[in-house]
Structure 1
Amino acid sequence: MKKPFRETWIEVNLDAIKGNIRAIRRHIPKQTKIMAVVKANAYGHGSVGVARYALEYGASALAVAMLEEGIVLRQAGITAPILVLGFTPLSRVKEAGAWNIELSAFQVEWIKEAQKIVKSTPFASRLPIHINMDTGMGRLGVRTKEGVLSVVKALEASPDLEWKGIFTHFSTADEPDHTLTKLQHELFVNALRYLEEHGFKLPTVHMCNTAAAIAFPEYSADMIRLGIGMYGLYPSAYIKELNRVKLVPALTLKSRFSNVKTMQSEPYTISYGATYIAKQGEVIGTVPIGYADGYSRALSNRGAVLYCGKRLQIAGRVTMDQLMVSLGVGESEAKQGEEVVLYGQQDTAEITVDEVAEMLGTINYEVVATLSHRIPRLFLEKGKVVEMTHLLPKG
C-alpha cells in the first residue's frame, strides 16, 4: 500500500457504514433488498472502497449516475449489478453492454435504437434496462401510465434487451408535508397496476431513497436505493428529528499544519485581499487544503478547524490549495505536522457536515460530494487502515 505524499486526507469509517446499512435494514421490510448508491465518488467517500464494503455488509446492487462511474467499479473487479440512474447516450450503449452495466430508459425510440446497437454487437447476455417513471421529480422519466406501457411494450419486444426493473424518485420525501410524496406513490402504483392489467409481469420495483425508506418504509417495495443515509448523514433535519433510525457519520476530514508562525512584524495581513489583519504576536497556522479540494472558499473568515479539541477560526480567505487559521495571541505550542480536523470529531469537540452546510446555505450532500479526488481516502475497519485510494498509481 503506497503511502500518499500529501498531509491532508479523508478517513472513512467502514464500521459506521456497516452500522448504517444494518440500521436501515432493520427498519425496512425483511424481503426488501438494498441498492447502495455510490455515485459522485460515493458522495465524496470513495466509490470503490465503499462499494466493496457495502456489498459485504448487505447491499446486493449498486447505483451510479453515469456510465463512467460504473466502469470504474468494474475495472476494480466489482461484479455485482450496477445501475446507471441517469441518461446514457446511445453512443455509449456498446460500452454498457461490454461492461455488463444496467441502464435506465424512458423513451420508446431510445429503446428501439439501443436494440439495433446491441443486436449488431452481441454480448454474453441481454442488456438489462430499468424503466424510469417521472411521477413528480420533473427530471428524467416517462410521465404517464400510458407512456410507461408504450415503453414496456417496446422493451418486451426487444430480443436483446432485458426488462430488469422499474422505478420512480420522490422529490419531497424528506419534508414534513407528505402530500406530494403520497401523490407520487399513488401515480406510480397505479402505473404498475395498469401494466399488470395489460398482462405484464413486473420486474424489480424500487422507489425509496434514504428519506422515503425512513419516513415511508411501507413504500420499500422490492428494493430501496440507499444513498446519503449509508454515509451516516440524514437527508434533512425533519428526517433526523423523526428519530426512527440512528445513523453515524462515516467521514472525517483531516490535515496537518504545514507551517506555524508568529506575526511579529508588519504587515499582519493574511491571505488574498488582506481581509484578515492579525494582531502583533498572533500565531497563524497554515493548513494544506483549499477550494480545489472541495473545501469551500465561502468558509473564508467563517469556518473553523479543530486542534487539540479546540476550535480555531479560519483567518482570511481560503485559497486554492491552502488556508490559514488563528491560534490566538501569545505563546503557542502548536508545531508543524500536528493534526487538525476540518469535518468530524477530535477529542470531545466536533464540526459536523450539517453545521458546515448550514453555514454555506446548502445541504450536507454538496459538502461531502464536492470533496475532490486530490484528497487521499483511508478506509478504516476497527480503527485500522484496510484500504487506501489516492492520486498515485498503485504499485
Structure 2
Amino acid sequence: MKKLCREVWIEVDLDAIKKNVRAIRRHIPNTSKIMAVVKANAYGHGSVEVARQALESGASELAVASVEEGIVLRRAGITAPILVLGFTALSCVKKSAVWNITLSAFQVSWIKKANRILEKEADSKRLSIHINVDTGMGRLGVRTEEDLLAVVKALKSSTYLSWDGIFTHFSTADEPDTELTMLQHEKFISFLRFLKNQDITLPTVHMCNTAAAIAFPEFSADMIRLGIGLYGLYPSASIKELNLVDLTPALSLKARIAYVKAMVTDPRTVSYGATYIAEPGEIIATIPIGYGDGYSRALSNRGFILHRGRRVPVAGRVTMDMIMVSLGENEGKQGEEVVIYGKQQGAEISVDEIAEMLGTISYEVLSVLSRRVPRFYFRDGKIIKISAPVLYV
C-alpha cells in the first residue's frame, strides 16, 4: 500500500464488479445487452476504472448523467457507446457530436434546433439520440402518442441526428407493490406498439434498471441499465429478499488512527458543541475523515466504525476533516487501520446500514464520497491502480 499523507482511502474490488455484471448476465435473457451506469463518478467508485471493468466483464454500453461525465470516459480512451440519461443543453450539442456521445431527447423543438446547430458546421458528425418516454416517472420524457410520433418524425427528417434508441424509467420497480411497475410497462409497450402500427422500425429498446432487471427479467428487451447492482448493492430490501441474484459489494472505506488520547482526569468534552463527554479512563481515537470526505455530519454521536473487528461509536460531532471515536477502555495505536464501510475480522458495517441510519438510500451514501479521497483499485487481491487528486508519496 502506498503511503498517504492523509490516511483515509477507498478500496474498490474490481473482481466484485466483474462478478456483479456476470451475475446479472446469467439472470437476464441472452439477447439483452447490459448498459453499465457510471454516472456520479460511478456512484463514488471512480468512473473510468469501473467502466473499463464493466465492459471487460460483459457490458457493451455505458450511461452517464452529463456530457462532461462522458468526455471523462472518452479522454481515458473508452470507445464504447455512451448515453447521457439526463437533459442536455443545446449549447453542448456540437461537443456531444465531436466526442461521439449519445443524447436523450423528447422535444421536437430541441431536435430541430440541435439539427440546425450541426448543419452550420462543415465537418459535423451525426449525433446519436435515444428518445425518453415518460410512463410515470414524471421527470423527463414524451408523454403522449401524438408527441412521440412528432419526435420520431423530427428525428427521421434530421440530417445530422440519428435515432438509435427508445427508453423509459420505472419509478417503483424496487417496491414490493408491483402494480405501478406493471402499469408503466404496459404503457411503454403500448407506445412501442403504436409506433409499429405506423410502420416505424424500432431502434434499441430499454426500460429495466437494476431493480426491474432482477424482479422482471422478462422486461429486459434489447438492453438493461445496470446501476446500483453493478456496485454489489441491492436497490431495496425487498429486491434483496427475492434472493434471485447474488451481488458482491465492491467498495470499502478505510482509514488509519491519527491520534489516541486517554481521558485520565475529569470528564472532558469532545468535538464542536461539547455534545459528548468522555469519562476518566475512556480512550478517544481521532480518525482523519469527515463530512468533507462524504462522511455525513448526521452520523455525529450515532455512527460506528470498526476497530480490531469491534464496533466503536463516533464520539461527538463529525467535523469537516476528522471524527473522534470512543474505544472505551480498549487500547488503540496511532497508525492502526480502521474500517468505516466494509469488513474487518468478521465484523461489517454495510453501506445499506449507514443509509438506513441516515434515513436515505445507499446511492446517496456512495455518490457523496469526495474525489479528494484516494481510490485504490484491486484485482486478484493486488493493487493495480491508484486514483488520487492529491499526490501520494
What is aligned with 1:342? Answer: 340
1:258-273 equivalences in 2 (<5 Å): 258-266=258-266, 268-273=268-273
1:233-244 equivalences in 2 (<5 Å): 233-244=233-244
Give the conservation status (yes or no) of the 8 Å contact 1:173–1:211: yes
Distance in 1 between residues matched to 2:230 and 2:40, nearest whole Å: 14
**Partner SS state of residue 260, structure 2:** strand
Pairwise CA distance, 1:248: 0.8
**Partner SS state of residue 139, structure 1:** coil
Any unmatched runs of 5+ in structure 2? none
Pairwise CA distance, 1:281: 1.7
Distance in 2 between residues matched to 1:60 and 1:394, nearest whole Å: 34
Identity of aligned residues (%): 68
Distance in 1 between residues matched to 2:53 and 2:100, nearest whole Å: 21
Pairwise CA distance, 1:267: 5.8
**Partner SS state of residue 342, structure 1:** strand
1:276-287 equivalences in 2 (<5 Å): 276-287=276-287
Correspondence for 1:363 among 348, 361, 364: 361
Distance in 2 between residues matched to 1:267 and 1:326, nearest whole Å: 13
Pairwise CA distance, 1:374: 1.1
Give the conservation status (yes or no) of the 8 Å contact 1:98–1:123: no
User: Does residue 11 of structure 2 align to residue 11 of structure 1?
Assistant: yes
Pairwise CA distance, 1:196: 1.3
What is aligned with 2:67? Answer: 67
What is aligned with 1:20? Answer: 20
Pairwise CA distance, 1:159: 1.2
Distance in 1 between residues matched to 2:282 and 2:74, nearest whole Å: 52
What is aligned with 2:385? Answer: 387
**Partner SS state of residue 269, structure 1:** strand
**Partner SS state of residue 151, structure 1:** helix
1:38-53 equivalences in 2 (<5 Å): 38-53=38-53
Give the conservation status (yes or no) of the 8 Å contact 2:71–2:99: yes
What is aligned with 1:168? Answer: 168
Distance in 2 between residues matched to 1:239 and 1:341, nearest whole Å: 27
**Partner SS state of residue 230, structure 2:** helix
**Partner SS state of residue 211, structure 1:** helix
Distance in 1 between residues matched to 2:391 and 2:316, nearest whole Å: 35
**Counterpart amino acid of residue 209 in structure 1:** N
What is aligned with 1:108? Answer: 108
Any unmatched runs of 5+ in structure 1? none
Pairwise CA distance, 1:321: 0.5
Distance in 1 between residues matched to 2:391 and 2:212, nearest whole Å: 39
Q: Please report the TM-score for the alignment, with normalisation by the length of structure 2.
A: 0.97
User: Does residue 310 of structure 2 align to residue 319 of structure 1?
Assistant: no
Pairwise CA distance, 1:372: 0.9
- 1:150-187 CA distances to partner (integer Å, 9 max, x unpaired)? 10000000011000100000000011111111111111
Pairwise CA distance, 1:193: 1.1
Pairwise CA distance, 1:36: 0.2
**Counterpart amino acid of residue 14 in structure 1:** L
Distance in 2 between residues matched to 1:2 and 1:135, nearest whole Å: 49
**Partner SS state of residue 100, structure 2:** coil
Pairwise CA distance, 1:5: 3.1
User: Does residue 331 of structure 2 align to residue 297 of structure 1?
Assistant: no
- 1:95-116 CA distances to partner (integer Å, 9 max, x unpaired)? 1111110000000000000000
Give the conservation status (yes or no) of the 8 Å contact 1:206–1:222: yes
1:150-299 equivalences in 2 (<5 Å): 150-266=150-266, 268-299=268-299
Give the conservation status (yes or no) of the 8 Å contact 2:284–2:324: yes
Q: Residues 16 and 214 of structure 1: is their aligned pair in 2 closer, same or farther, counting only changes over 3 Å?
A: same
**Partner SS state of residue 363, structure 2:** helix
**Partner SS state of residue 131, structure 1:** strand
1:111-150 equivalences in 2 (<5 Å): 111-123=111-123, 125-150=125-150
Pairwise CA distance, 1:300: 0.6
Distance in 2 between residues matched to 1:157 and 1:140, nearest whole Å: 23
Q: Residues 192 and 66 of structure 1: is their aligned pair in 2 closer, same or farther, counting only changes over 3 Å?
A: same
**Partner SS state of residue 385, structure 1:** strand
Q: Residues 109 and 74 of structure 1: is their aligned pair in 2 closer, same or farther, counting only changes over 3 Å?
A: same
Pairwise CA distance, 1:121: 2.0
**Counterpart amino acid of residue 151 in structure 1:** V
Give the conservation status (yes or no) of the 8 Å contact 1:40–1:369: yes
Distance in 1 between residues matched to 2:282 and 2:3, nearest whole Å: 34
**Partner SS state of residue 18, structure 2:** helix
What is aligned with 1:99? Answer: 99
Give the conservation status (yes or no) of the 8 Å contact 2:9–2:254: yes
Pairwise CA distance, 1:126: 1.1
Q: Please report the TM-score for the alignment, with normalisation by the length of structure 1.
A: 0.97
**Partner SS state of residue 338, structure 2:** strand
Distance in 1 between residues matched to 2:122 and 2:315, nearest whole Å: 60
**Counterpart amino acid of residue 340 in structure 1:** V
Distance in 1 between residues matched to 2:351 and 2:392, nearest whole Å: 30
- Comparing 69-78 with 271-280, which one deviates more in the overlay? 69-78
**How many residue pairs were aligned?**
393
Distance in 2 between residues matched to 1:180 and 1:124, nearest whole Å: 42
